[in-house]
Chains A and B, each alone.
Chain A
């Protein structure tokens, strides 16, 4: 009997996060339309695929970063883990190890780094910023030690296959991976006990502890997932480049954080969505792509990217204040 009333209420009370995602979608549509009309070749379907392809690798990392930031932490080691994955796969294959076994070993190594991060951050309660800055350098160092200062080619057709694979002849494999991961993580965050724990820990870790949530376990799983997703990104990058690149992934952690913040996740944790992160990563990719098509120099691109981060932080701050009320 008060069905009507309830509906109305829930609409009016549409939570802040959802309404932010809605605003992002509108912003993207407007931006995309304007760019289609003003920038030559931008409207091409192939260009759309280019954009998706360009965002796929940092997109995967930003998904993991969303989980980390939702629990109220940060992980700076992700870019280096991409490089370490690349270096390990390359070196192991060149040593004659089975390519998929090499990939598995690289994945386990990254998961191990996630465990190490979690041990210091969740168990020893040391600031995530400092610990992951440390592991960032360690992982980068390992990458250089393994393959030396320069990229090295390797020979494994089965891996190369995934670098070149286009599903239905058009969609790059990496894009498919992004979309699958998006769906999986969306489901996990929205519908599983683990997902709810992630929000709860970020919302209020002390309340979480007093509510019987295993905070340590929740944080550990999050950092391990982050490590594995970095490995996935590293694998895709390696398959595309077909070489082990020790310099790979530098700055990815900042790109990922940009996407997450732009996507509406609060840096303090507890509030945000994976869809928002996807949209955030998409916006960055669209802007970059547009600037490339207009032949804007890389130096100016950096200015724009920096400005986006600052604007996103200002918006986040304003929202954070509103939420506190």
Chain B
């Protein structure tokens, strides 16, 4: 047991009744790089946040170097030798690279900061890691890749014995990833335990000594990396998730769930709702796809693949470079969401609270406000009509609320999402762009939401759907486009849907 750096004993954590982690028993050894794998929502980030003291576990103990961390917080975690790199960079933009690296322990001379020594230290550190970055420049002048590397250097400078990395590579390209790998190897040689989370399977297989797979907050398997292949890893990660989803759907059958209506019965073949031809933006190129009324078209790709970007374009949030977008046969070039909405496009953003709703306003106001924009500014709100409509949506969508007059913030996540969809229904849009519509809502509400979205398609609405939950995408979509690095890798018809192939596809691996 000498070389155990970090041990987790029976860790439990739940968020508002949802079990995020159950009985997590893990050991991380000194001088080893462990990959932590799991599909979205498996609990990887939650686990790191507990180790680093950001969240407190409900039950269970954390041992560092054989000593229990009775109380934990990010400060205590750092004092006991941990360093963490988050997915999002947290550097001070207007300070130099050197200042950022030594932000919490700047060298001093006679009570003043010794800038010369700090710079020299930073320079030798950067040289040691073979990074060509000037310690004197401001972080704001660095590229995203460079600043991500500085973040890693900053963590490295603390000489950590436990190094936690939560998807540090999403901002890195090939070269940057290699630089990072070499830093990880150096840490490993120094005897640190490195925990590495990445969505890119290839990276995990390349750098890690061991791989631990978790799923739905429970432990699945730990094994040496050489015993895994890309597809066996995907198998371990997906396991019976797909089956579990089916169970949920089956359990609900007879209740909310109705029989799926075949595409042929709802699609309007000879009509096109959306036609995208040769779309080029700053993130994607050669995008071609079409959506018929009554069709649910799924898109899937890792963060930065360009799916979000294309959706944003269709809603007028970003200017496009070239190519053509036609909505209902008419060439469009939306300069803002107002124009998109007029053309019949509605958008449900990924972050509901930040971009989707007015938390301090009533359900009725949230539903009525978009349609109300058609009326003159100083005309009276059509409150009576809105009330009737709101009550109808509360009934038909099953929004659980005593009335439409309460603040939308008093609803549960799933019900808030229904209200947002009701806003677009009330505005009579024909195309629904749904960006992670089931994010942050519980399983039962999720099932209900998916069922509702299918119902929308039966009413002739066209739907563009993206989610990082592949099982969900397979369940809801009529066709799926797999996107990798700004290009459509493949289009799958319903009969060809396969979890593993899609999962490998978003990683750029084609079989």
A323 to B407, CA, bound (A): 11
CB A184 to nearest CB in B, in angstroms, measures 11
A9 to B377, CA, bound (A): 32
B357 at the A interface (CB under 8 A): yes
* Set of chain B residues within 8 Å of A197, measured between Cβ atoms: 369, 373, 377
A262 to B370, CA, bound (A): 32
* Set of chain B residues within 8 Å of A271, measured between Cβ atoms: 360
Q: Out of A10, A204, A210, which one reaches B405, CB within 8 Å?
A: A10
The answer to whether B381 touches A323 (Cβ under 8 A) is no
Tell whether A207 pairs with B376 under 8 Å between CB atoms, given A6-B403, A192-B381: no
The answer to whether A212 touches B355 (Cβ under 8 A) is no
A194 to B377, CA, bound (A): 5
Q: Out of A9, A199, A210, A221, which one reaches B349, CB within 8 Å?
A: A210
The answer to whether B369 touches A213 (Cβ under 8 A) is yes
**A271 closest partner in B (C-beta):** B360
Interface centre among A208, A211, A271 (most CB of B within 10 A): A211
**A191 closest partner in B (C-beta):** B380
A163 at the B interface (CB under 8 A): no
**B377 closest partner in A (C-beta):** A194
A108 to B377, CA, bound (A): 21
Q: Out of A13, A192, A196, which one reaches B406, CB within 8 Å?
A: A13
- Please classify how large the interface on chain A is, using the bins under 10, 10 to 19, 20 to 34, 35 or more: 20 to 34
CB A1 to nearest CB in B, in angstroms, measures 14
A210 to B338, CA, bound (A): 8
Chain B 322-347: CB-based contact to A (< 8 A → 1; otherwise 0): 00000000000000111001100001
The answer to whether A207 touches B356 (Cβ under 8 A) is yes
Tell whether A196 pairs with B360 under 8 Å between CB atoms, given A206-B354, A211-B423, A214-B338: no
Tell whether A192 pairs with B355 under 8 Å between CB atoms, given A13-B406, A210-B347: no
B41 at the A interface (CB under 8 A): no
Q: Out of B338, B375, B402, B423, which one reaches A5, CB within 8 Å?
A: B402
**A266 closest partner in B (C-beta):** B360
A82 to B153, CA, bound (A): 57
A89 to B427, CA, bound (A): 48
CB B217 to nearest CB in A, in angstroms, measures 26
**B410 closest partner in A (C-beta):** A13
CB B327 to nearest CB in A, in angstroms, measures 15
* Set of chain A residues within 8 Å of B358, measured between Cβ atoms: 199-200, 203-204, 207-208, 270
A194 to B369, CA, bound (A): 10
* Set of chain B residues within 8 Å of A212, measured between Cβ atoms: 337-338, 341-342, 370, 373, 427
The answer to whether B357 touches A207 (Cβ under 8 A) is yes
Q: Out of A5, A191, A200, which one reaches B369, CB within 8 Å?
A: A200
- Please classify how large the interface on chain B is, using the bins under 10, 10 to 19, 20 to 34, 35 or more: 35 or more
A23 at the B interface (CB under 8 A): no
A294 at the B interface (CB under 8 A): no
The answer to whether A15 touches B407 (Cβ under 8 A) is yes
The answer to whether A196 touches B365 (Cβ under 8 A) is yes
A209 to B410, CA, bound (A): 23
* Set of chain A residues within 8 Å of B259, measured between Cβ atoms: none
Count, A-B residue pairs, CB within 8 A: 94
A-facing residues in B359-376 (Cβ within 8 Å): 359-361, 365, 369-370, 372-373, 375-376
CB B401 to nearest CB in A, in angstroms, measures 10
The answer to whether B337 touches A193 (Cβ under 8 A) is no
The answer to whether A206 touches B377 (Cβ under 8 A) is no
* Set of chain B residues within 8 Å of A323, measured between Cβ atoms: 360
A193 to B379, CA, bound (A): 6
CB B311 to nearest CB in A, in angstroms, measures 12
Tell whether A196 pairs with B372 under 8 Å between CB atoms, given A203-B361, A210-B355: yes
The answer to whether A204 touches B359 (Cβ under 8 A) is yes
B378 at the A interface (CB under 8 A): yes
CB A225 to nearest CB in B, in angstroms, measures 11
A188 at the B interface (CB under 8 A): yes
* Set of chain A residues within 8 Å of B403, measured between Cβ atoms: 6, 9-10
CB B365 to nearest CB in A, in angstroms, measures 6
The answer to whether B355 touches A206 (Cβ under 8 A) is yes
* Set of chain A residues within 8 Å of B357, measured between Cβ atoms: 204, 207
**B348 closest partner in A (C-beta):** A210
B-facing residues in A192-242 (Cβ within 8 Å): 192-194, 196-197, 199-200, 203-204, 206-214, 217, 221
CB B493 to nearest CB in A, in angstroms, measures 32
The answer to whether A196 touches B356 (Cβ under 8 A) is no
**A269 closest partner in B (C-beta):** B360
**A188 closest partner in B (C-beta):** B378
Chain B 407-451: CB-based contact to A (< 8 A → 1; otherwise 0): 100100000000000010001000000000000000000000000
* Set of chain B residues within 8 Å of A194, measured between Cβ atoms: 377-378
Chain A 139-163: CB-based contact to B (< 8 A → 1; otherwise 0): 0000000000000000000000000
B-facing residues in A165-200 (Cβ within 8 Å): 188, 191-194, 196-197, 199-200
Q: Out of A203, A206, A210, which one reaches B359, CB within 8 Å?
A: A203
**A201 closest partner in B (C-beta):** B358
* Set of chain A residues within 8 Å of B375, measured between Cβ atoms: 193
A161 to B355, CA, bound (A): 52
CB B379 to nearest CB in A, in angstroms, measures 6
A13 to B379, CA, bound (A): 29
Q: Out of A5, A193, A200, A208, which one reaches B377, CB within 8 Å?
A: A193
The answer to whether B402 touches A193 (Cβ under 8 A) is no
Tell whether A193 pairs with B378 under 8 Å between CB atoms, given A200-B369, A323-B360: yes
A10 to B406, CA, bound (A): 8
* Set of chain A residues within 8 Å of B341, measured between Cβ atoms: 212
CB A315 to nearest CB in B, in angstroms, measures 17
The answer to whether B360 touches A203 (Cβ under 8 A) is yes
Q: Out of B342, B373, B407, B427, which one reaches A193, CB within 8 Å?
A: B373
Please list the residues of chain A having a beta carbon within 8 angstroms of any beta carbon in chain B. 5-6, 9-10, 13, 15, 188, 191-194, 196-197, 199-200, 203-204, 206-214, 217, 221, 270-271, 323
* Contact sample, A vs B, 20 pairs, CB 8 Å cutoff: A5-B402, A6-B402, A10-B403, A191-B380, A192-B377, A194-B377, A196-B361, A196-B365, A199-B361, A200-B358, A200-B365, A200-B369, A207-B354, A209-B336, A210-B347, A211-B369, A211-B370, A212-B337, A212-B370, A221-B377
What 6 pairs across the A-B complex have the smallest Cβ distances?
A194-B377, A212-B341, A203-B358, A211-B370, A193-B372, A9-B402
Q: Told that A196-B381, A211-B337 touch, could you supply 6 new A-B pairs with CB distance under 8 A?
A: A9-B402, A196-B361, A199-B360, A200-B369, A204-B354, A211-B369
